[in-house]
A and B are shown apart, each in its own frame.
Chain A
Amino acid sequence: MSSEVALDIHSGVSSLHVENQSHDSHVHHHETFIYKYVFSMDHKMIAKQFLITGMFWAVLGGLMSVLFRLQLGYPDSTFPWLEDILGKWAKGGHITPEAYYALVTTHGTVLVFFVLTAGLSGTFANFLIPLQVGARDMASPFMNMLSFWFFFIAGIVMLSSIFVETGPFSGGWTAYPPLSALGDASPGSKTGMDLWIVSMALFVVSSLLGGLNYIATVLNMRTKGMSMTRLPLTIWALFFTAVLGVLSFPVLFSGFILLIFDRNFGTSFYLSDIFVNGAGALPNEGGSAILYQHLFWFLGHPEVYIILLPAMGMVSEILSTNSRKPIFGYMAMIGSMFAIAILAFLVWAHHMFVTGLNPFLGSIFVLLTLLIAVPSAIKVFNWLTTLWRGNIRFTPAMMFAIGFVSLFISGGLTGIWLGNSALDIHLHDTYFVIAHFHIVMGVASMFGMFAGIYHWFPKMYGRYLNNTLGYVHFWITIVGAYLIFWPMHYEGLAGMPRRYYDYSIWESFKQFGDLNRFISTVAMIVFATQILFLANFFYSIFKGRKLRSTNPWGSNTLEWTTPIKPGHGNWPGEIPEVYRWAYDYGKDGHDFISQTTPIGADESVH
């Protein structure tokens, strides 16, 4: 008995019919170049499209950070070559304040949404969900394709904003009004902001289309025997990620709609009593800028977990596989992810402690925020106990997974500081915050992503990445990441605010001149190392060492039961049936037992 999949393209809206038939399945569709590589409906190809588009944005967003780090590290130097590439944005080889703010804003937007949301969960949810739950494809491959193309167009719109005369939006990635609501507020608030909001609206649509599909696929398309408690933790994590996205992105969207009306139709949702230099007093009355912050952070905080959860899931899977041990506390892992997903919706106001929030309300948000430490600590404990006395194989994927745990611990601890509303009065909007979220969310999730890429690259392309380059990539990146962000804690504790253009003119922050130069130098080295990784990636797609066996890591999960280069439909024959959970490593003297192996007579049932 098998599930047969037919791609029904002729009925207008493409849909996937799953029928139960008792003969061998066959997948019929024509693979021209356009349908195979461009308008592909194969989840594996869409995953690669997300990944490579994400890489493009990671390079661009990373390069932006290098450019503004040049300004921060070398505020008195001039770089004539900057004028060659940036033109009027770097007059005399010096990045202008407008360009600096535009770079900071675009760096944030691009890295948070395009790289760590679309690039991370877009890639791995697409790639892993059907393969690991045992499905031919997503619930709706057509919607899946649309999800990528909405993301792609969102990217084109964002990219085009870099080239408009008044520059891209420059009011920070959070796009708080009034900077985002008034065209007269700054150069970037004109066309740049229009393009920013169009791009983000398209991005929300893309995320929703993707998220709907991921949820439906996990809940409805699992193969026979694949109960929810037999799912690998990657799938649980990607599932919670999708739920968070589907419930929080619409709220961001409603915030954006009100913003559009304030910008273009003269309403006063967010604006009140504003006097703009040159334009005079505005008629808007009674609006509240704080209202936007509520709507924004209601997405904004779950967004942090949208970024982090896929990394957590992949790290759990990779740690277990490469420790040759079952994951410690499987149910506790699911429970803690569930707790994180719930709490994600209840802590948004900790971004707003200093907005005049009622202190009593603030203390409730402090409590809820600090509660997140509990599931986080459970997860860390389980990762460490999975490693404990494991038969560890230090593959590059494993190195990055361990690096993730390290970063998650050191970045998570500072979260306990920041979640405290009294400490936040001092730490708010300082480099301490920058250090905290870059380590715990930015770099940690990048590490999860790298771990995922190194681990599943053989499944994606049928070849290995170069190991030596992988280790070089890992060591420089982890040491560099700590060297960049660790000193920022000290700067932040000393009160150095974020988003300033030039600290050398401030008596209090002058002392950090050398430190800032050091950070900028390391940032350049780390950025160059990522280029090395990309070279490894693209070289290995074509010339990497070829995969000889279907299961190179000795892994239990279903994706390794497919052929080395699976076609559309994933399994040439029937979809395998699942008899056990994904973590039977080192059981009864067996190194690993695939999920497709029936429970033996003398074996204890999990």
Chain B
Amino acid sequence: MMTVKEKEGDGRIHPQKFVLWVAMGSIVMMFAGLTSAYIVKKSQANWLEYSLPGVFWYSTLSIIASSITINMALKAFKAREMKQYRTLITITAFLGLLFMALQIVGFANLEARNIPLFGARSNSATSFLGVITILHMLHVLGGVIALMVIFIRAYLSKVKNYSSLPIEIISTYWHFVDFLWIYLFIFFNWLR
């Protein structure tokens, strides 16, 4: 009878977490493709210079705040503070939705300044902003849905689940979309 502890077991990242990291690499490539296209396009003729809507600062703050709350939620889960945990993931999901709402306010603001994102009168400078920002919003939405799933599951499940894996995976993803937006925000503001 062998009792040697299997080496492979410890120190290795959980396969699902690993899948997430590779998926994040894949998402990075998509946005890298789009922002490179943006740079290529910018150097060509017919490029509109415009200032970003100010409300994007508030959306940036809200997504940074949501990263903080999801981190607190993870800590609460690990400390088995389930009530606090539920409150925190609710706040996180709410901040995610607020972020998306503020982005839409930003789009409306551009439209109001007669800078349409899409349509026949649009310039590809703003169309790029629209496409990239909407794609990012869809990724935030994915995170919100994932939060809602684990939230509902926490209520429905008859068996107490002490695995912190789902919330760990979601929080990693959440920080990722947060950083992604910060990159895009810096890109749109100063790097372009």
Residues of A within 8 A of B (CB): 1, 11-12, 15-16, 18, 20, 22, 139-140, 143, 208, 211-213, 215-217, 219-222, 224, 246-251, 253-255, 257-258, 261, 265-269, 272, 283-288, 291, 294-295, 298
Contact = CB atoms under 8 A, between A and B. Distances in A.
Contacts of B45: 286
B123 A16 contact: no
Interface in B100-119: 118-119
B183 to A, nearest CB: 15
Find the residue from B15, B29, B34, B120 having the highest chain A CB count within 10 A.
B15
Given A20-B6, A268-B122, A294 B26 contact: no
B39 to A, nearest CB: 11
Given A283-B120, A286-B124, A139 B37 contact: no
Nearest to B128: A269
Contact of A257 (B3, B4, B46, B135): B135
B16 A20 contact: no
B123 A268 contact: yes
Nearest to A138: B15
Find the residue from B26, B40, B46, B127 having the highest chain A CB count within 10 A.
B26
Given A266-B119, A291-B40, 6 more contacts: A20-B6, A250-B30, A251-B29, A283-B120, A287-B124, A295-B33
Contacts, number: 129
A251 B30 contact: yes
Nearest to A217: B15
A250 B124 contact: no
A208 B26 contact: yes
A261 B30 contact: no
Contacts of A22: 1-3
Nearest to A284: B120
A216 B19 contact: yes
A216 B4 contact: no
A211 B26 CA distance: 10
B124 A212 contact: no
Nearest to B21: A216
A257 B47 contact: no
A219 B47 CA distance: 45
Given A250-B29, A250-B30, A212 B118 contact: no
A284 B123 CA distance: 9
B189 interface: no
Contacts of B7: 224
A547 to B, nearest CB: 32
B15 A266 contact: no
Interface of B is mostly: helix
Nearest to B45: A286
B160 interface: no
A216 B120 contact: no
Interface in B37-64: 37, 40-41, 44-47
A285 B118 CA distance: 13
Interface of B: 1-4, 6-9, 12-13, 15-16, 18-19, 22-23, 25-27, 29-34, 37, 40-41, 44-47, 118-124, 127-128, 131, 135, 149, 153
Contacts of A249: 26
Contact of B19 (A139, A248, A272, A287): A139
A255 B122 contact: no
B23 to A, nearest CB: 6
B131 A257 contact: yes
Contact of B30 (A215, A253, A266, A294): A253
Contact of B41 (A217, A269, A284, A298): A269
A250 B37 CA distance: 13
A286 B25 contact: no
Given A246-B25, A268-B122, A286 B44 contact: yes
13 contacts: A16-B15, A22-B3, A215-B19, A215-B22, A224-B8, A249-B26, A251-B29, A251-B33, A255-B37, A266-B118, A269-B41, A287-B124, A294-B37
Contacts of A215: 18-19, 22
Contacts of B12: 220
A215 B131 CA distance: 29
Given A268-B122, A286-B47, A143 B19 contact: yes
Contacts of A208: 23, 26
B66 to A, nearest CB: 23
A23 B13 CA distance: 24
A17 to B, nearest CB: 9
Nearest to A264: B118
A161 to B, nearest CB: 25
B15 A267 contact: no
Contacts of A268: 122-124, 127
A575 B43 CA distance: 57
A285 B127 CA distance: 12
A294 B9 CA distance: 43
Nearest to A220: B15
A216 B18 contact: yes
B33 A139 contact: no
Nearest to B146: A13
Find the residue from A18, A216, A219, A272 having the highest chain B CB count within 10 A.
A216
Contacts of B26: 208, 211-212, 246-247, 249-250
Contacts of B37: 254-255, 258, 269, 291, 294-295
Contact of A247 (B9, B25, B44, B128): B25
A247 B131 contact: no
Nearest to A248: B29
Given A139-B19, A140-B16, A291-B41, A267 B122 contact: yes
Find the residue from B19, B27, B123 having the highest chain A CB count within 10 A.
B19
Find the residue from B8, B31, B45 having the highest chain A CB count within 10 A.
B8
A288 B15 contact: no
Contacts of B27: 250
Contacts of B34: 254, 257-258
A254 B12 CA distance: 33
Nearest to B135: A257
A216 B135 CA distance: 25
A224 B6 CA distance: 8
A286 B16 contact: no
A220 B13 CA distance: 8
Contacts of A254: 30-31, 33-34, 37
B1 to A, nearest CB: 8
A216 B26 CA distance: 13
A250 B47 contact: no
A140 B3 CA distance: 29
Contact of A294 (B2, B40, B153): B40
